[in-house]
């Protein structure tokens, strides 16, 4: 009886061992076949796989294909172009830091590449979307309230594109985005200057308003910057500078509310209201 039980246990153990060995062999064989299959893919095929993934908005698969291409074939025209396409895939996948890093590497490595203008444009676009894209769509009035470092980076990227490649097909769109960025950067500086006015930090207000005037001329925020100067110089007991700022405001923006308000004769009711 005991011998029969031992016999069956031995058979079961042998069967389990055989099944385990078979599974291991199948796994090794499958892995080997998969490796052989991957090794057979050339650079063009890998690049096409990445392109197909991008066309299908499959950013993860595109990233995998382009990274595999660069690893297996570190040189060649497909690898060069894949660096830009990988940057775009990173950008769409919500990985801006990786996108910018890849673009910087591409620009340094291939400064004369036919698509390097697109690399500069894409850099500007990545920074633009980080700072403005989402907020612009849901709360356009709040864009100027956040940190503007990425907006400045975007502005510089687009400026570099226009300087280096004035005939690039990406220049018209870059110019339009720069106008938007410039206006928001000016509004940010004036907003900070107005904050300093409310805090009675008049020297800081003057410095910020003057910076806005000098750095972002011909923007819609210039009148507000001049008004800040009038108020700050008045509080600092510098009447000549205050009057000079007011003259510039009145000469260039005669219909401005602040100019019209100063010209209007104030009634006794107006004088009861101490605010401009």
Contacts with 193 (C-beta within 8 Å, 6 or more apart), sequence order: 204, 205, 206, 208, 209, 212, 225, 228
pLDDT(138) > 50: no
Domain range summary for the chain, segments of one domain joined by +: 41-95
**Cα–Cα distance for residue pair 209/212, rounded to 1 Å:** 5
User: What is the rounded CA–CA span in Å between residue 79 and residue 46?
Assistant: 10
**pLDDT for res 130:** 83
| Tens digits of residue pLDDT in 17-46 | 555 555 555 554 444 443 433 456 788 898
pTM: 0.70
Q: Are 223 and 258 in contact (CB under 8 A)?
A: yes
Statement: residue 271 has pLDDT above 50: no
37-41 long-range Cβ contacts below 8 angstroms, 24+ apart: 38/68
- Pick the closest to residue 161 from 129, 108, 116 (CA basis): 116
Confidence label for 263 from pLDDT (cuts 50, 70 and 90):
low
What own/partner pairs with CB < 8 Å and gap ≥ 24 does 163-171 have? 164/117, 164/120, 165/116, 165/117, 165/120, 168/117, 168/121, 170/117, 170/118, 170/121
Q: Are 144 and 106 in contact (CB under 8 A)?
A: no
Rounded Cα gap, residues 158 and 135, in angstroms:
20
pLDDT at position 33, please? 40
């Amino acid at each position: 009886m005991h011998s029969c039980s031992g016999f069956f246990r031995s058979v079961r153990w042998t069967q389990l061992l055989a099944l385990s060995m078979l599974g291991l062999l199948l796994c090794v064989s499958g892995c080997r076949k998969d490796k052989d299959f991957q090794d057979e893919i050339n650079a063009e095929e890998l690049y096409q796989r990445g392109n197909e993934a991008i066309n299908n908005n499959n950013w993860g698969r595109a990233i995998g294909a382009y990274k595999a291409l660069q690893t297996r074939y570190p040189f060649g025209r497909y690898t060069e172009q894949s660096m830009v396409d990988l940057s775009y895939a990173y950008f769409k996948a919500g990985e801006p830091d990786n996108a910018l890093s890849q673009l910087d590497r591409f620009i340094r490595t291939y400064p004369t590449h036919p698509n390097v203008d697109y690399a500069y444009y894409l850099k500007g676009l990545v920074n633009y979307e980080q700072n403005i894209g989402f907020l612009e769509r849901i709360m356009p009035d709040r864009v100027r309230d956040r940190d503007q470092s990425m907006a400045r980076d975007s502005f510089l990227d687009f400026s570099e594109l226009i300087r280096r490649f004035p005939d690039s097909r990406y220049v018209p769109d870059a110019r339009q985005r720069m106008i938007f960025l410039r206006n928001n950067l000016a509004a940010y500086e004036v907003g900070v200057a107005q904050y300093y006015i409310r805090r009675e930090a008049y020297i800081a207000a003057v410095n910020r308003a003057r910076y806005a005037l000098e750095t972002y001329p011909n923007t819609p925020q210039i009148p507000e910057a001049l008004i800040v100067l009038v108020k700050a110089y008045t509080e600092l007991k510098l009447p000549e500078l205050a009057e000079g700022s007011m003259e510039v405001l009145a000469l260039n923006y005669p219909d401005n509310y602040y100019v019209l308000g100063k010209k209007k004769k104030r009634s006794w009711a107006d004088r009861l209201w101490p605010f401009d």
